[in-house]
Structure 1
Amino acid sequence: MFRCFYVLVFFTFFINLQAQKTNKDVLFTVAKEPVYSEEFIRIFNKNLDLVKDESQKDVDSYLKLFVNYKLKIKEAQAKGLDTMPTYLREFESYKKQLAKNYLTDTKVTEALVEEAYHRLSNEVKASHILIRLDEGASPQDTLEVYNELLKLKERIENEGYAQVQKDVHDGKKVYAENLGYFSAFKMVYDFENVAYTTKVGEVSMPFKTQFGYHIVMVEDERDSRGELKVAHIMVANKRDDKQQNSKTRIQEIYKKINQGEAFSSLAKQFSEDKSSVEKGGELVAFSGGELSSSEFEEVAFSLEKEGQVSKPFETGFGWHIIKLIKKTELASFDAMKPELEGRVKRDSRSKLINTSLVNNLKERYSIKGNPEGLRYFETILNEGYFLGNWSLPQDFTSNKILVVIANKELTYKDFGDYLFENQRRVSTKKAFDILVSENYEDFINANLIQYQEENLENENEDFSHIVTEYRDGLLLFDLMEKEIWNASQTDSVALKSYYKTHKNNYIWNQRIDADVASASKKRTIKTVKEMLGNGQSPESIKEALNKNDKVYVIFTSGIMEKDHQALTSDMLFEKGVSNIYRHDNAYVVANIKDVLPKTHKIYEEAKGQISSDYQVVKERLWLQELEQKFPVHINSAVLAKVKANLKTK
């Protein structure tokens, strides 16, 4: 986690690092290699609002970070990390993924984004029947499936979907499923398109997706349910006797809510979702389909009025109670547009974008073909191609030019290899001239996109800057992993030595082993205090006081430090029954069975923090070594100009 965060920070801080190196002011040199002021100013201004540490907004402090970064990159290059095969493979993978954002048709993308937003604004409820069919199915098999679905369509229209579903669903070849409500991006695009273009109450004609052939019955359409802000209290399922322990505890909490106790107060005291407990159980706002738990989402969206509280329910994470804080409509198109663009490009609808892109590239780059070459390939194909065992003949003409895209020459061998690699995709026999023509078209399209990708760094300045970001960022990651992170985790001798010399940094504060009771009413907690003083156990106290299906007291037991959520900051750590304290709109009293003194943590208990602290020290010493190895000289006159420039902005 730390590693990914570290690299992400530098990906953010040091984008667009390449500046033209002529007629520029040199801000500093690293081992006589110049770094230009324009580069630093651009980075500083771009990231100023992203820096949370106020000290880093100071030019001198930020410059120190930038110098350290340059030192590390210099060291990585000196060690040859930029030539390692693993690094080169990873970089090329990143570069290829990044290029997808630039290999697109803007107009088509914008149309698809607008369509996606409209569909996110309107959910459809549908059921479908799918008959599985392989991609290579014969025309006869395809026709049979198509006709079978036409019959099922007619049956649904006459008998209703439920009866047909019962008759045909087998979960193997035929799937008849109720899909519920969904919106854009929840289904493959071909399926989504038909669902959104079929009228409510109607059954679509058969259509094809990657899974086979479908028909869809659209049952309803409704506006988007928008976005929810909720709070929850969670009791995690325990491995031992979970139904009794977790369910009983959540029911106790629910009863206290119904008795008028504050939801946020109970969440702070008893919720086991540590990420939300400090906020009284509040979660980040979400919309339909965003949560990993559909059970949680359905209960949340079933709440209608702000302040409404659900009954306890179970998910894979445990038992929950939800309180609705706020319901808002779907965000505006402008607000969602950047997110939607990314989703459209990752979705199956991107095929439409690719088709338009290829058509544009055909107009942009010159293509000079060789018709004679296509006729040659028609003569060397044979029936083995349809069986997947065709190969290029021994006397194959390989070096002759087949086509030229801009200044890139593609030979007979390039297309021959393409035909060879794609022969197993051919499912039906067709005339060789048609086969060659279809493959040639696909071959040209693929190479047009590849040619643009190969030249993106020269054609697109923004892409070039971001490629540099990835290049240096990955290099930095490899260096830090080798020099700092791995060493800090595996060098047990150094870690134990660091622990011995910094033992006072790893302390258990004073703790108590206690049973802490919480009640909303003071008279109840007074009774609890008296019962604890008489030696009664939490179980017997709960049995005595929590009657008539009402919960008046909840206990939290275990070893706790001063900052434990069940305790108050002013509670005295003394053996015996404590005073009564006011705590989050409730009252608490503790039976302190033992007081554990302040003591050093043993090495195993503190190992994670030791490793983290050791990394900081090790990196600081390492940077001092790099400064000796690669001398840094800062041009004070240029730095003064930089500061003046930044102050005027």
Structure 2
Amino acid sequence: MTNRTVSAFIILFLLGISSPLAAEAFWQSPNQDMPLLTIGDEPIDKDELIYLISKGNNSDSGTAGMSREEFDENLDLFINYKLKVKEAESLGLDQTPEFKREFESFQENLKSPFLIRNSLEEGELRKAYARMQEVIHASHILLKFPPNASKDDSVTVLRMALKLKEEINNGADINELALEYSEDPSAQANKGDLGYFTALQMVQPFEDAAFSLQPGQVSDPVLTDFGYHIIKVQDRQPNPGQVRVSHILVRINEDLPNGEDQAKRKVADIYTEIQKESTIWEDIVKTYSEDPSTSQKGGMLPWFSVGSMIPEFEMAAFSLTEIGEVSPPIQTRYGYHILRLESKKPLDSFESMEESIRSRILRDSRSTMIQSQVMAIQKSRYGFEENEAVVQDLESKLNDITQNQLLEELKAGESSNLFTLQGKPYSTSDLANFIAEKELIMNTQHGIFSAWYERFAADVLNEVEEADLAANNKEYRMLLKEYRDGILLFSLMNDQVWQKGLNDSIGQLKYYQDHIENYQWKDRVNALIVKVLDLKQLETAKNALQGKSLSDGLISSFDSDVISSNPSAYQEEHGLIEYQTHPVLAQADLNKNLQEIEANGHLHLVLLGDQVPAGPRKFEESRGMVIRDYQEYLNEALIDRLKKKYPININPKAKEETFVALNQ
């Protein structure tokens, strides 16, 4: 939301209305038989006012019903608002490039929560976060397909996967089988043991299968882009959240025949040194750690969660329970480590993780799955009928050519109907025009025609869904009105009230002169008021002011000699002050020079100077107030002018129905 539109909504709030609504015929509610009022020749439906007032009251659901007086006040404000919107439209402010650009940007953001895709994404977000409450320890065997695999090859791989599952169910060790059969490159090192992981750390089919199993259970063959997997879940635990550790690394010199023994002895000596009470961890890290990225920072590593580090390191880190606890040496493929626990924290809330989860979901295969589900729902809802024979024929002919060739073929060939949507046909000519307009290169994993046809159908379906949303979803339509008219209101008010009031110096001066009675000083006195925060310093301040006359020089010397030497002991105020309403000076004896006054729980030293009788403020002294009042005057003049320009007629019956609806 831009600052200018935020300002528009603030102004509406100050007017007493939640937010604005539009007035074009396109925006009107389908039930237009009895408008609440007309402004000029334009009918305004009662649903607009009901929506605005109801929305404004949502923050306080326990509020009693609206009184007649409150309702009439809101109706008057609503009419004033609608007058300004109509004037903005008559001036063409809704046709400017700036308005269209800003409104289209808002519309794109506002529609998202109402679209089918959003509800499906929300479901995936919630499912992923629910799964994140657990971590799963699993092992697997991966069987890959040979290059350019035939259907028979796929069946052979599947049969092998089923055979291995049967062996595991009959007691065979999945880790030993993984060492022998798994085509996962890491299997030779980890025997298929994946350690602990949680949601969004594995490809979706693998994750779905793993989270459906209980400890000890073995999956059916799971198909992913890598091949077939057999998965056995070893354990499920509550997610321990995140941990932060520092570490010391001792590397193994592979060039030495006894390199591992040397590293083992060295890390054992370091561990013994750490046990001494006099040892400082950071010094040991700087002296001995062979991790160049952390050795000068106390060995500190970033926060990490389960599934982010190699299993041995991760298990050691999460097994530490007390802050400052040090682990025994552990070995990983990087060498030997000693870990110290720095901090732990639980899994973050859904709200704080929502955008991160969304980003990860939209980057993996779940995004494709969601898109497929969206299209399936759209096709069913809006009567999508594909001409399967034509589509299949074009796929066979056009999938293995270039994009330029595809465009040429579609333009040169006879136009054929691809599908109908809500009874409207879409042809190969429409597809050709779509490709020509987009100016992008498509991912042709499934063939160039199929990729473009899928994109074309998706765009048409999205357009139909959005049109249906605008026509039939009242909440969305009303919300869109709010933002549309908020932009228009700002444009009109900024031009005719706010900027004019701010920049029209001649108008400001004339308004000041015509209303000079509103810009008057009350009786004032020149005063120095020192609030004494530390009573031990009272005498110091008192001695500096005793027997002195108030002047600029005195204030300057008091500030430099007393205040600056002990600034926390005093607070100071000085100048010409209206004393009758001042909390301290209202108690002052104007005939005394220096006096002590108790006010608001503090002792004040007050030094008085000359008194100035009531009189008019200078224009320069009143400029801020004049601008404010002049802008309000311009606003009222604008409303008066618009009421004469656009006749207002209120339907008494609709008005009563609106009042009743708001009090139900």
TM-score above 0.5, yes or no: yes
After superposition, what is the alpha-carbon deviation per residue over 1:87-111, rounded to whole angstroms, capped at 9, x for unaligned? 1121111101112223412322333
Match of 1:379 among 367, 381, 401: 401
Contact 1:578–1:591 (CA under 8 A) maintained in structure 2: yes
Query: SS state of the match for residue 167, structure 1?
Result: coil
Q: Which residue of 2 aligns with 1:310?
A: none
Q: Which residue of 1 aligns with 2:491?
A: 478
Question: How far apart, in 2, do the equivalents of 1:597 and 1:85 lie?
Answer: 56
Contact 2:243–2:317 (CA under 8 A) maintained in structure 1: no
After superposition, what is the alpha-carbon deviation per residue over 1:363-418, rounded to whole angstroms, capped at 9, x for unaligned? 2134747353575363236xxxxxxxxx6799564486796584666514534665
Per-residue deviation, 1:164: 6.9
Per-residue deviation, 1:533: 0.6
Q: Which residue of 2 aligns with 1:525?
A: 538
Match of 1:411 among 428, 431, 437: 431
Question: How far apart, in 2, do the equivalents of 1:127 and 1:619 lie?
Answer: 62
Q: Which residue of 2 aligns with 1:516?
A: 530
Query: SS state of the match for residue 570, structure 1?
Result: helix
TM-score by length of 2: 0.56
1:33 aligns with 2:42: yes
Residues 362 and 578 (structure 1 numbering): CA distance in 2 closer, same or farther, change over 3 Å? same
Residues 44 and 566 (structure 1 numbering): CA distance in 2 closer, same or farther, change over 3 Å? closer
1:4 aligns with 2:129: no
Query: SS state of the match for residue 545, structure 2?
Result: helix
1:559 aligns with 2:575: yes
Residues 55 and 446 (structure 1 numbering): CA distance in 2 closer, same or farther, change over 3 Å? same
Q: Which residue of 1 aligns with 2:219?
A: none
Contact 1:24–1:36 (CA under 8 A) maintained in structure 2: no
Match of 2:514 among 485, 497, 501: 501
1:578 aligns with 2:594: yes
Residues 524 and 22 (structure 1 numbering): CA distance in 2 closer, same or farther, change over 3 Å? closer
Residues 21 and 587 (structure 1 numbering): CA distance in 2 closer, same or farther, change over 3 Å? same
TM-score by length of 1: 0.57
1:491 aligns with 2:504: yes
Residues 59 and 71 (structure 1 numbering): CA distance in 2 closer, same or farther, change over 3 Å? same
Contact 1:124–1:181 (CA under 8 A) maintained in structure 2: yes
Per-residue deviation, 1:358: 1.0
Per-residue deviation, 1:161: 8.6
In the TM superposition, what are the counterparts of 1:21-60 in structure 2 within 5 Å?
A: 21-22=30-31, 24-48=33-57, 58-60=70-72
Stretches of structure 1 that go unaligned for 5 or more consecutive residues are 130-153, 183-190, 207-216, 226-329, 382-390, 427-431
In the TM superposition, what are the counterparts of 1:254-333 in structure 2 within 5 Å?
A: none
Question: How far apart, in 2, do the equivalents of 1:572 and 1:219 lie?
Answer: 63
Match of 1:421 among 422, 437, 440: 440
Q: Which residue of 1 aligns with 2:242?
A: 124
Match of 1:589 among 596, 605, 626: 605
Q: Which residue of 2 aligns with 1:167?
A: 292
Question: How far apart, in 1, do the equivalents of 2:543 and 2:636 lie?
Answer: 57
Match of 2:317 among 198, 201, 208: 201
Residues 637 and 396 (structure 1 numbering): CA distance in 2 closer, same or farther, change over 3 Å? closer
Count of paired positions: 468
Contact 1:16–1:469 (CA under 8 A) maintained in structure 2: yes
Question: How far apart, in 2, do the equivalents of 1:449 and 1:200 lie?
Answer: 52
Query: SS state of the match for residue 378, structure 1?
Result: coil
Contact 2:525–2:608 (CA under 8 A) maintained in structure 1: no
Residues 598 and 192 (structure 1 numbering): CA distance in 2 closer, same or farther, change over 3 Å? farther
After superposition, what is the alpha-carbon deviation per residue over 1:411-457, rounded to whole angstroms, capped at 9, x for unaligned? 14534665x5247xx9xxxxx76674895598469637844445432
Contact 1:127–1:219 (CA under 8 A) maintained in structure 2: yes
Match of 2:646 among 610, 624, 630: 630
Q: Which residue of 2 aligns with 1:233?
A: none
Letter of the aligned partner of 2:94 in structure 1?
D
1:447 aligns with 2:459: yes
Per-residue deviation, 1:74: 1.8
Per-residue deviation, 1:56: 9.6
In the TM superposition, what are the counterparts of 1:42-121 in structure 2 within 5 Å?
A: 42-48=51-57, 58-102=70-114, 103-104=117-118, 105=120, 106-112=122-128
Q: Which residue of 1 aligns with 2:477?
A: 464
Query: SS state of the match for residue 99, structure 1?
Result: helix
Question: How far apart, in 2, do the equivalents of 1:621 and 1:448 lie?
Answer: 48
Letter of the aligned partner of 2:400 in structure 1?
E
After superposition, what is the alpha-carbon deviation per residue over 1:513-544, rounded to whole angstroms, capped at 9, x for unaligned? 525141454x7535643442155954687499
Query: SS state of the match for residue 582, structure 1?
Result: strand
Question: How far apart, in 2, do the equivalents of 1:502 and 1:114 lie?
Answer: 66
Residues 531 and 632 (structure 1 numbering): CA distance in 2 closer, same or farther, change over 3 Å? same
Letter of the aligned partner of 2:74 in structure 1?
Y
Question: How far apart, in 1, do the equivalents of 2:563 and 2:639 lie?
Answer: 63
Deviates more, 1:85-94 or 1:491-500: 491-500
Stretches of structure 2 that go unaligned for 5 or more consecutive residues are 135-197, 199-238, 248-262, 271-283, 319-329, 334-338, 549-553
Contact 2:245–2:301 (CA under 8 A) maintained in structure 1: yes
Per-residue deviation, 1:46: 3.6
Identity %: 17
Q: Which residue of 2 aligns with 1:618?
A: 634
Contact 2:37–2:649 (CA under 8 A) maintained in structure 1: yes
Per-residue deviation, 1:180: 6.0
Question: How far apart, in 2, do the equivalents of 1:176 and 1:373 lie?
Answer: 61
Question: How far apart, in 2, do the equivalents of 1:471 and 1:542 lie?
Answer: 59
Letter of the aligned partner of 1:499 in structure 2?
Y
Contact 1:508–1:598 (CA under 8 A) maintained in structure 2: yes
Letter of the aligned partner of 1:619 in structure 2?
N
Question: How far apart, in 1, do the equivalents of 2:591 and 2:306 lie?
Answer: 66
Residues 348 and 71 (structure 1 numbering): CA distance in 2 closer, same or farther, change over 3 Å? farther
Residues 14 and 165 (structure 1 numbering): CA distance in 2 closer, same or farther, change over 3 Å? farther
Query: SS state of the match for residue 365, structure 1?
Result: helix
Question: How far apart, in 2, do the equivalents of 1:544 and 1:411 lie?
Answer: 78
Root-mean-square deviation (CA, aligned residues, Å) is 5.5
Per-residue deviation, 1:80: 2.1
